[in-house]
Structure 1
Amino acid sequence: MSAPTETALGLTESRSAAGRALKVLTYLLVLVVFAGPLLALLPSVIVFLFFQRSFVHGLSSGALKG
């Protein structure tokens, strides 16, 4: 086991296998948390891109007076 090292902020960082594993798991968790909303938004974006002309036409005709 190696000795703790000091980071740029003055914090000590352990380079043990458990510390590295925790860092990797945290990184993967952050990726999953950010990927979820992006995947949930994807179907809406695809539908909008497919029917974009209809959306714009509907907004334009609804905005006309008369």
Structure 2
Amino acid sequence: MNHKFRGRQPTGTPSLAWSSVVVVASLLAGASVVHNIFKPDLTLPPVDSVDGVKQEQPKKE
């Protein structure tokens, strides 16, 4: 039986690139939903010192 596929081939597993796009999109969508529900405070606290020694800020004139 010499039967060749014409047109589209039968569906199988998607390509690695398409799978990667789907994974990244689903992660971003999940993060968006979680951040819309919980609304976390993502502000960073001010840095007061480096190496435990308080440094003076330069004075603006």
Q: TM-score by structure 2 length?
A: 0.36
Q: TM-score by structure 1 length?
A: 0.34
Where is the helix percentage greater, Structure 1 or Structure 2?
Answer: 1
Relative contact order, CA 8 A, sep 6+: which one is greater?
1
